[in-house]
Structure 1
């Protein structure tokens, strides 16, 4: 029994962290709305793709 106690504690701690992450996600959805959350998640990625597509020459080629 003594060997299983740390594993149970570790699992409980992981579940607590996951639960807290879920609460934070719900808080973000309520604060920003679904569209605001999607912009927050995907906006930077789209901006990086657009910046790469607008480059006049590949970054590894000297001008």
Structure 2
């Protein structure tokens, strides 16, 4: 999922996937010079709504 964002960062992308039986979520950003920056990541043992809400709520609290 990509979100257009006006400001210093031109695009935020949420990456989801499974690694070694564990789920990962990561948010990366791309600036105007096409540099990619890791903003946040998390590894969890299972995929459920409560864990995604926790991850996304903490991103929101960080004011991304």
TM-score for the superposition, normalised by structure 1:
0.23
By percentage of residues, which structure has more helix?
1
| Larger fraction in strand | 2
The structure number with the bigger radius of gyration is 1
- Which structure would you say has the larger RCO, counting Cα contacts within 8 Å and 6 or more residues apart? 2
